[in-house]
Amino acid sequence: MNDTHKKIHMKISRRNFLKKGLAGTLFLGTATLPQPLQALTTKAFAAAPKRAKRIVLISLDGICVAGFKQAKTPHLDALLAEGVLSTKTRVVMPSVTLPNWTSHLTGSGPEQHGVTDNAWTVSKHKLPAIEKDNEGYYPSIFSVLKEAMPQIKTAFYYNWGPLINPYNRRHLDEIGFLEKDAYIENYEKAFNFLIENQQSPTLVFLYSVHTDHAGHQHKWMSPEYIHSIEEADVEIGKLLDKMKQEGLYEDTHFMFLTDHGGIEYGHGGVSVDEMIVPWGITGPDIKKGIKLEEPNNTVNTAATILYLFKVKKPLPWVGEVPFSIFKRGKK
């Protein structure tokens, strides 16, 4: 093998090494791999579905599959009947909140983004991310989109304090935080944000932790836990109705996300009830009334969002797009 071939081989091997996430487990240092983040121009992605106009991430904490199926959720059911639903999506380990929401929103597992527990902060953590910006943050869906599409508007609504810690706030146009499990006001703020920015590409993360807290306080699958899901469905329905009235519904992609299930009064283990969760998507170019059977994981969420916005996935990310969700499949 001559020197030129050696260099090519090393470059390809390194790319595969990082893409598969082995750098996070075998190399504890921080990689400095600046990647140009740009709108997709390659032939493969040029044929992707038309660039999404807006994406709304309806996010409820701690929804197990059994609870999702038992709860009476007519609004979520109607929404997901228009798209694709998985009830076999796996979360990353550990099956706790911050590592999994970070995986949803960074297209990576803890071995890449370094968020291994709920106590993570940018200044205090056990495992360094394999790539960081100048302020110490791993590439998130918000930072990647803002760099590739400066015109995009981003919003982050939440009611559990540590949830925002893994993200550089300068990539968020609006942040809404509520205390004591309150969340209805954030649904109203999200709607107003969508109205104000209806002419711009938009990504809205709309989250509530009250469902998880109901499980911890009353037990997963308790009447109180089931009621917390049904309660959220009412507010989801109000949001969807208002979006329909304003002509925002038809050209919006919605994703329904959660981070883990639960068993008894907790989670964090590796049981099916903790590790397998519902995951759904609907919107233009998404198949209707389909159950996703192919393997899926929380790390695939951000990769799918980038594909919808026609933006290239950064090298450290390991998430993949489940192409069977699209009407025309992979292009």
- Could you report the per-residue pLDDT of 182-231, keeping only the tens digit for each? 999 999 999 999 999 999 999 999 999 999 999 999 999 999 999 999 99
**CB atoms near residue 35 (< 10 Å):** 15
The CA radius of gyration of the chain, in Å to the nearest whole number, is: 19
pLDDT in tens, 118-142: 999 999 999 999 999 999 999 999 9
Strands 252-257 and 54-60: parallel
**CB atoms near residue 205 (< 10 Å):** 27
Cα separation, 89 vs 110, whole angstroms: 17
What pLDDT sits at residue 186? 98
- pLDDT 10s digit of each residue in the chain, 331 long? 444 444 434 333 333 433 343 333 333 334 433 344 444 445 445 555 689 999 999 999 999 999 999 999 999 999 999 999 999 999 999 999 999 999 999 999 999 999 999 999 999 999 999 999 999 999 999 999 999 999 999 999 999 999 999 999 999 999 999 999 999 999 999 999 999 999 999 999 999 999 999 999 999 999 999 999 999 999 999 999 999 999 999 999 999 999 999 999 999 999 999 999 999 999 999 999 999 999 999 999 999 999 999 999 999 999 999 999 999 765 4
- Name the strand (E) or helix (H) holding 69: helix 65-70
* Residue that the structure tokens 């009353």 belong to: 218
- Show me where the domains of the chain are located: 37-325
**Local structure of 39: helix, strand or coil:** strand
Q: Phi and psi at residue 62, in whole multiples of 5°?
A: 70, 35
Q: Phi and psi at residue 68, in whole multiples of 5°?
A: -60, -40
What pLDDT sits at residue 25? 37
| pTM summary value | 0.86
CATH C-level class of 37-325:
alpha beta
